[in-house]
Amino acid sequence: MTQLYNKDSEKEKRRLLRQNITKCETLLWEKLRDRQLENCKFRRQYSVDKFVIDFYSPELRLAIEIDGESHFEKGAVEYDKARQEFIESAKITFIRFTNNDVYGNFSGVLESIAEKIRELRE
């Protein structure tokens, strides 16, 4: 069986993304790490096949993506859609927020994530 998660071939990409985390990702990571939100374990820069997810809970199979400016460039919307469909085909729940969501309504983003965690645990 082919390995799907955290492939060795994607290790360097994951490492570089962790070293170059965005401000929005840093803000969210500070609230997700160490089981601070609903006692749920998250990992950052976790890969599924060739795609790296910003935050992932293996326990709940929950992916969280923060879309920055690059996600709105030409071709990026189509790429993100195909990427999300692939990840969801692996039975992973996928939620996404924009940088504007994080900056403008951080408490709302945290509550949305907490609600999804509670829903997935039911």
3-state secondary structure 8-77: HHHHHHHHHHHHCCCHHHHHHHHHHHHHCCCCCCCEEEEEECCEEEEEEECCCCEEEEEECHHHHCCCHH
Query: pLDDT tier at 30 (50, 70, 90 boundaries)?
Result: very high
pLDDT at position 60 is: 97
The pTM of the full predicted model, rounded to 2 decimals, is 0.84
- Of 37-41, 81-85, 111-115, which range is least confident? 81-85
pLDDT at position 1 is: 40
DSSP letter (8 states) at residue 94: E
Whole-angstrom distance, CA of residue 103 vs CA of residue 42: 21
Q: Answer whether residue 70 shows pLDDT above 80.
A: no
CATH number of 8-121: 3.40.960.10
Across 13-17, 20-24, 41-45, the highest mean pLDDT is recorded for 41-45
- Backbone φ, ψ for residue 59 (5° rounding): -55, -45
User: Token digits for 113?
Assistant: 């994530």
Break the chain into its structural domains and give their ranges. Answer: 8-121
pLDDT at position 29 is: 97
